[in-house]
Structure 1
Amino acid sequence: MELDELVFHPWTIQGPRTVPTFVGGAGSYVVDANGRRYLDFSSQLAFTNLGHQHPRIVAAIKDQADRLCTLGPGYASDVRGEAARLIVEVAPEGLGRVLFTTGGTEAIEHAVRMARLHTGRPKVLAAYRSYHGSTATSIHLTGDPRRWANDTGTAGVVHFFGPFLYRSAFGASTPEEECERALAHLEQVILLEGAATIAALVLEPVSGSSGGVVPPAGYLRGVRELCSRHGIVFIADEVLVGFGRTGAWFAVEHDGVAPDLLVFAKGVNSGYLPLGGVLVGDAIYETFMQRPYPAGMTYSGHPLATASAVGAITAMRGEGTVASAARLGADTLGPGLAKIAENHPCVGDVRGIGGWWTLELVRDRQSREPLVPVGATGQANAPMAAFSKSCLDRGLLQMVLSNRVHVAPPLNVSDADAATGLAILDEALAEVDTFLHS
C-alpha cells in the first residue's frame, strides 16, 4: 500500500490516486520523487506568493525553532508582536489589532462572531459567487456549489448577487451599469431583510476560487457606504487575494476603502506554516475592551507560524513583491492570456488582476454555456480532466475548478518561467478545443 492511501483527502472521492509525490522545491518549481521538476503556476492553492523555500522565510522559521518552538496564547511573545506590527503597518487605515488563527476558514468564523457580538444582530450577508471556507459558518457563507452538500439553512446567512458583467444577473452591458445595478440590488436585499437584523456583510474584494471576478470601480465604495449607513459590519475576506496577490497589499485598496474587519491567511507567510487572522477595526476592538472576547485557540499566534510571517513580509518589502505582482499582471499575464484566448474558441472570458487570473472555458462563446456542468465527474468532466493531464504531462501545475482555469504563479516568478507557463497553457487548451466538436 502506498503511504498516500493512508491519508483521507479533502474535496475528493477517496481511494487510490494518480498524482505525483513531491519531495522538494525551490522558487517557482517543485520536484517529484523521480527528480522531475514542475513549474507551479498555481502557487499551490494561491498561497506560495514568494515561491518555494524562500531563504528568508526558511531562516526565520529555523531561527525561531532554535529559540522557542511553541508558546500558549495567554503569554506575550516577541515574534507574535512583531508579526502583528508588520501586518498592521501594511493594513488599511483603522485596522489596528490582529487576532491570529491557524487558517482562513477559522478566521472567518471569528470575524462573524465578533460582528454578531458587536452589533447584537443575527444575520450575515454573503455573495453567491464566493468561497469562505469549509467549517460550519464559513461553508454556509460560501455562495458557490461547494456549499450545497453541507448547507442546513440554519446559519442566518442571506446570499446576494455581486457584480459579474460576463454573466450579469442584472442585464447590464457596461461595467458602470453592472456596478449601479448590483449596488441597487444589494440595497434592496438589506431593506427587505431588515437592516436592524443584519450583523455583517462578508465579501471577497476580488473573488477567489469561485470565479476570480474583479468588481467594477466604485462597487466596494458603494458596499462600504451601505454598510456604514445601516450599521452593518463590513468584513473583507482577503484570504486568497491579500498580501500582494492583486498587486496591492490588500485588494480593498484598489477602490480606496477600509473594512471594519479584514480576514487574511495564505500570502501572509506564503503558506509555509498554518497561519491566518483577523485585522480588527478600532470600533470593534473597543467593544471587547468592555467585556472579554468569548473564544480562543490553542495555537493562536504560534511562534513558528508568526516567525514565518515576519520573514515573508520583510522579504516582500525588501524585494518589492507587491509592485512586481502589479507588473506581472499588467505586462505578462494579462496580455499573454488575452493572446491565448484569441487562439482558442473554448475560452469564453479572461479576467484578473496582478497575479490572479481566470480563464472561463465554454462550449460556445455566443451562448456562454460552461464547458462542463457544475459538479461534473467522469465523462462529463472529460474536457477539464484532459486539460489537467495535458498540463501535468508537460510539467505544469495549475488550478482547475469546474469550468475555470485559475492562473496564479508565485508573485516573484521570472519572465522566462511565466512565458513557459503560458506556452504550456496554450498547448493544453488546444486539446480542449477538440471537445467542442464532439
Structure 2
Amino acid sequence: MDNPFPAVNTAAADEAARVKAADRAHVFHSWSAQELIDPLAVAGAEGAYFWDHEGNRYLDFSSALVYTNIGYQHPRVVAAIQEQAGRLCTLAPGFAVDVRSEAARLIAERTPGDLDKVFFTNGGAEAVENAVRMARLHTGRPKVLSAYRSYHGATSTAINLTGDARRFGNDSATAGVVHFWGPFAYRSPFYSATPAEECERALRHLEDTVVFEGPASIAAIVLETVGGAPGVLVHPDGYLAGVRELCDRYGIVFVLDEVMVGFGRTGRWFAAEHWGVTPDLLCFAKGVTSGYVPLGGVAVSAAVAGTFARRPYPGGLTYSGHVLACAAAVATIGVMEEEGVVEQSARTGAELLGPGLRALAERHPSVGEVRGLGTFWALELVRDRATREPLVPYNASGADNAPMAEFAAACRKAGLWPLTAGNRIHIAPPCTIAPQEVAAGLEALDAALAVADAHTAG
C-alpha cells in the first residue's frame, strides 16, 4: 500500500487537537476507561476509506462497527435522507407512513420463510430485547438459552444473553438466561476430530441442556447465525437445522441474531439462507441502512405475530420506524439490489478475501485459522500453531494484550484500520470494496502480521 500519510499541516493539526479536546471534555465513551483512551479525530469518509484532519487516510477493514455495508457516503442514500428530511422528518410510530411501510415490505420480502411482519427498533440490542419479550409472551415460559461465544448487545437482557467477557461487568444472574457451548471446531469444547463430529456433539450437548433445564420452562434459543464478535464463527453444516428441529420438538421459539451479518455481509441477504433455515424471529440492524441512520428490528413469523393479533404487544419505542431511518433503509436496499452488492460480497469472499487470507496464513506462523464468508472473515492469531495457544489470553488487558496492541498499531501505520477482538483480527470491509482495495488491504495486513509472527514459537 502506498504511504497514506502526508506531511504534517499545522492548521489541520490544531483542528484535530480542538476536536479531540472537546471529545475528551464531554463525550463518555462505551467499553472504555475514560482517561486511558485516545480517540482518533476523523474529518471525513467516502467509500471504503476515512481520514483524519491532517489527511492521514485509512482503508477501513472494520466497516465502522461492521455496518457500512455499502461504504461511506453513498450519494443515493445521502440524497434519499436529504429528500425525506425536506418532506417529513419524523412522525410517531402509531401512524401509517409510506416510507415506513415500504421499508417493512422490502425487508419482509428478503427475509426467509414467513417472516412477514417487522417490528422496528433503533438498533440491534433493542431488537434482541424485543425478540426475547415476544418469545416469552408467545410461549408463557421464562428461560432463554444462548451460546457462551456470542454477543447480542449491551442492554439489560441482551448483555445477559451475551456469552463473551463483556457480560462479566453487567451480568445480574437474574435474567433467566442459560448458556451453552456452541460448535467451534478449531477450539472444540467437545474434543471433536471433524466438523461433522463437532456438529453432532454440539447438538447433543444443546439437547442435554434443554432436557436438564426443563423444556417446558424454555421460551427461546437465541443464536447468531454466524458468530460475529466472538470470532466469525461459521456453524458446521447441519447445526442450525438441528437447532431448528430441537426447537420444533420442544415448542421453543428459535431466534436468529443477524444484526451483524444481515444485508449482504456473508454474500446472502441473510446468512440463514446459506443453510436453508427459517427462524421464528430474526433480529436485524446495522447493514439495513449501512449505519447512515440508526435502525433495527425484528422480523416476526406468522405464528408469533398471531399471538398479538387481538392481544396487545406490551412494548414499543418512541422512535420505532423513524421516518428518516426508514428512508435510509429503502434507499440502501435499493442500492444493494440495483448494484448487485450482495452478489459482489459473495464474489469478493470466494475469489479475493478467502484465497488472499489463506495465502497469508501459509506465510505467517501467527495465523492459526482462517474462517469466514462473503466480506466477513477472521484470522485466529496464535503463539504456536501446534498447540493453538492464542496470541494473547482470553479477555487480556494491559501488558498481557501487548502483542495484539502492537499488531493493531502496525496495521494502522500501514494505513489499514483493523477490527481486533481477543486474539483475532476480523476482516469486514464494505461489501462494495473494489478488488484493488482488497489487494491493498491484504498487502498492509501481510506487513503487520510480521509483528505478530515475532511473538510465535517458530
Give TM-score scaled by structure 1 length.
0.98
Structure 2 SS opposite 1:143: coil
Runs of 4+ in structure 1 over 4 Å off: none
Matched residues in 2 for 1:349 and 1:290: separation? 51
Given the alignment of the two structures, is residue 4 of structure 1 paired with residue 23 of structure 2, yes or no?
yes
Residue 357 of structure 1 pairs with residue 381 of structure 2: no
2:13 maps to which residue? none
- The corresponding residue for 1:142 is 162
2:312 to 288, 292, 301: 292
Corresponding residue for residue 144 of structure 2 = 124
The amino acid across from 1:4 in the alignment is D
Equivalent position to 1:247, from 267, 270, 285: 267
Q: How does 1:387-406 map to 2 (within 5 A)?
A: 387-406=407-426
Letter in 1 for 2:412: L
Pair 1:214-2:214 in alignment: no
- CA RMSD in angstroms comes to 1.1
1:136-168 per-residue CA deviation (whole Å, 9 max, x = no partner) reads: 100010011111111111111111111110011
Structure 2 matches for 1:148-187, cutoff 5 A?
Answer: 148-187=168-207
User: Counterparts of 2:53 and 2:298 in 1: how far apart (Å)?
Assistant: 37
Q: Tell me the distance in 2 between the aligned counterparts of 1:76 and 1:319.
A: 29
Kindly state the Cα deviation for residue 437 of structure 1 after the two structures are TM-superposed: 5.8
Q: What one-letter code is carried by the residue in structure 2 that aligns with 1:260?
A: D
- What is the SS of the residue equivalent to 1:52? coil
Deviates further, 103-112 or 365-374: 365-374
Look up the equivalent residue of 1:218 and give its one-letter code.
G
Deviations 1:5-26 (A, max 9, x none): 0211101111263332112111
Q: CA deviation at 1:170?
A: 1.1
Letter of the 1:300 partner, please give it. S
- 1:31-430 counterparts in 2 under 5 A? 31-430=51-450
Q: Give 1:49 shift.
A: 0.3
Amino acid at match of 2:123: G
CA distance in 2 between partners of 1:233 and 1:383 (Å): 42
Shift, 1:396, TM fit: 1.0
Moved more, 363-372 or 239-248: 363-372
Q: CA offsets, 1:323-379, max 9 Å, x none?
A: 111111111111101110111111111111111001111111111111111222222
Q: Distance in 1 between matches of 2:203 and 2:399?
A: 40
d(CA) in 2 for partners of 1:107, 1:18 = 31
- What residue ranges of structure 1 are gaps of 5+ in the alignment? none
Q: In percent, how many aligned pairs have the same letter?
A: 60
CA distances 1:92-147 after superposition (whole Å, capped 9, x unpaired):
01101000000000110000000000000000000111000011100010011111
Does structure 1 conserve the Cα–Cα contact (< 8 Å) formed by 2:384 and 2:457?
no
CA–CA distance in structure 1, aligned partners of residues 434 and 194 of structure 2: 35
Tell me which amino acid in the other structure corresponds to 1:289: A
Task: Tell me if the contact between 2:47 and 2:70 (Cα under 8 Å) persists in the aligned partners.
Answer: yes
2:44 pairs with 1:27: no
SS at match of 2:297: strand
Amino acid in the other structure paired with 1:170 = F
Contact 2:393–2:400 under 8 Å retained in 1: yes
Gaps of 5+ in 2: 1-17
**Distance in 2 separating the partners of 1:378 and 1:154:** 31
Q: Whole-Å Cα distance in 2 between the matches of residues 216 and 4 of structure 1?
A: 44
Secondary structure of the residue that 1:149 maps to in structure 2?
coil
User: Residue 178 of structure 1: CA displacement?
Assistant: 0.8
Q: CA deviation at 1:298?
A: 0.4
Aligned counterparts of 1:196 and 1:165: Cα–Cα separation in 2:
31
Structure 1 letter corresponding to 2:191: G
Aligned residues between the structures? 438
Deviation at 1:37, TM superposition (A): 1.7
Secondary structure in structure 2 of the residue aligned to 1:243: coil
* CA displacement at 1:216 relative to structure 2: 0.8
